[in-house]
Amino acid sequence: MASVALILKIVRVNFLRRHPVALGLIALILLSALSPLPPVVDAVTGAVSLDLDLVRPMAYTALAPLSNVLDALTFLTLDRAKAFLLLWVPALAVWGLLRPGSRRRRVLTAVLGAVTVPVLAVAAVLLPRPVPRLVVADSAVTVIDYHAHTDRSHDGRRGWTLEDLAEWHAAQGFGASYVTDHNVVFDEEVGEPIRLLPGVEWSVYDQHIVALGGVTFVDRAAFSRDTRAMLRLFAELHRHGAIGIASLPEYWRNHWGDLDAFVAAGVDGFEIVNCAPKAIGFPAGARAQVWRIAAVRDLLVVGASDNHGWGKVTCVWNLSSPSAHGYRSNRVIARSIALAQGDWEPWTAAYTQPWLMLESLSWSERLSWLTWILVLLIYRAVPRRAGDPRGLGILARSLSLKILKLRRS
C-alpha cells in the first residue's frame, strides 16, 4: 500500500512539474469564479439587469479561449495595449528560449512566442468570428448605437460600407444606429438589416460633437475659433432640428472645466462610454460626475461604439425607450471589462486584462476553457516510446495494431 501511495505521489509531482502552464491556468479559471464579474452591467448604476442577456452563439462558446482573448484585446485603452505588448512579447520570447530541446528548436519557440500576442491583436481587429449579442426582453425598447463610422470618414476602414456597418450592428443585437461620419452628413434611408439613422460628427474647437436627427451642412469654421464659438454649434443644430451630443474623449480631455458652459449652451447629452481605444479609459469617477449633471438637467447620457470598421465587438449598447424623455429615455449597457479600463493603471494591463477576462466568463465559457486545456493536456501527457510522435501518434498506432489483429484473426 505504502509503495502504491509513493508511486502515485511521484506521478503527481511529475505531472505538476511537467505541465505548470496548463495546471496554473486551470487554477486561475476556477479561482476567478470566486469573484465573478457580470458580462454586462448598467453603466450608470453598475447593476445587473434581469430584463436583458448577453447571448453567446454556440460557436463563440465552443471557441471560448479564442473568443474571450480576442474580445479582451479589443477592449484595451491605447496605453494599456502598449503596456500589454511590452510585457507579453519579451516574456513569451524568454519562455520559448528556456524550453527544453535543441538550440534551433528553442529559438523557433522564442520567435513563435514573441509574435503570438501581436498576431492575436491583428486577429482581434480583422478576423471574422462569432460575436455575442444583446437580447432584451422588452420589445418596446430599441437597442441603438448613437455614434458609428463608415469609409466616408477619413479614418474609417477602406471599403467599410453602410451595409457592413449595419451587419456589424445586427450581429450584436442592435436594431438601429446613427451614422456619424466625420464632417460628412448622412441623410439617407436604410431599413435593412437594421435602421440606419441620419447623423454626423462635427470636429470643432478641440471637441467632437455628434449631431443626430435633422442634420444638414454647417460651416465648421464659424465654430472652430475658440470654446465660446464651439459652444454656439448646439443652438445652430437645434435650428435645423438636430440634437448635439458631446463626444468622448474630447470633452474629458480638453473641456473638463467647461461642462457647465456646455449645459448653458444647450448640449443635449454626453457620451459616458465610448469603445474607441483613446476613449475607453474614461474613469468611473468622471462618468459619475457627468451623469449627475445629466440627471439634474434632464440630459441624455449615451454609449457609443464609435466603430470605424475595425474590431468585431462593441463594448456598449443603448436601450432607448420611446415613451420616456431626456435622461430617462436611454439606458447604457456596457461590458464590465470595458468599464474597468479607466480604473487600472496602464502598467498593470499584462495581468489585470487577463484577470478581468477570466472574472467575466460565464460557466459555459469556463467549461469550454477547461475542456480545451484538458484535451491539450491529454494530447501532450500520454506516455510514448522514444521517437514516437505526441498523443495522436499513440492513438494511430493502437488503431493500426487493432486492425492488424483483426486481419490475422
Q: For 354, what's the count of Cα atoms within 13 Å in the CB-facing half-sphere?
A: 13
258 binds Zn ion per the rule CB under 5 A: no
Minimum CB–partner distance for residue 276 and Zn ion (Å): 7
Distances (CA, A) of 183 to 144, 165, 271: 21, 18, 18
**Contacts (CB under 5 A) with Zn ion, residues 291-310:** 306
Based on CB atoms, which residue is closest to Zn ion, 84 or 160?
A: 160
Minimum CB–partner distance for residue 205 and Zn ion (Å): 17
Cα separation of 265 and 263, whole Å? Answer: 5
Minimum CB–partner distance for residue 65 and Zn ion (Å): 32
Cα separation of 212 and 245, whole Å? Answer: 8
Minimum CB–partner distance for residue 304 and Zn ion (Å): 7
Cα-based angle 207, 236, 302 (whole degrees, multiple of 5): 50
Cα-based angle 372, 373, 376 (whole degrees, multiple of 5): 85
Minimum CB–partner distance for residue 298 and Zn ion (Å): 25
Residues 6+ apart with CB under 8 A from 404: none
Q: Residue type at 384?
A: R
Minimum CB–partner distance for residue 218 and Zn ion (Å): 17
Query: Roughly what angle, to the nearest 10 degrees, separates helices 64-74 and 103-126?
Result: 70
Minimum CB–partner distance for residue 306 and Zn ion (Å): 5
Cα separation of 85 and 68, whole Å? Answer: 17
- Return the C-alpha cell found at 344: 487600472
DSSP letter (8 states) at residue 47: P
**Contacts (CB under 5 A) with Zn ion, residues 189-228:** 201
Nearest residue to Zn ion on Cβ basis = 306
Cα separation of 374 and 368, whole Å? Answer: 10
Minimum CB–partner distance for residue 292 and Zn ion (Å): 25
Max Cα separation, the chain? Answer: 95
Cα separation of 113 and 127, whole Å? Answer: 20
Q: Enumerate the H helices of 208-348 as residue ranges.
A: 227-231, 233-239, 250-254, 259-265, 284-297, 336-339
Cα separation of 15 and 21, whole Å? Answer: 11
Based on CB atoms, which residue is closest to Zn ion, 151 or 306?
A: 306
Interface residues toward Zn ion, by CB under 5 A: 201, 306
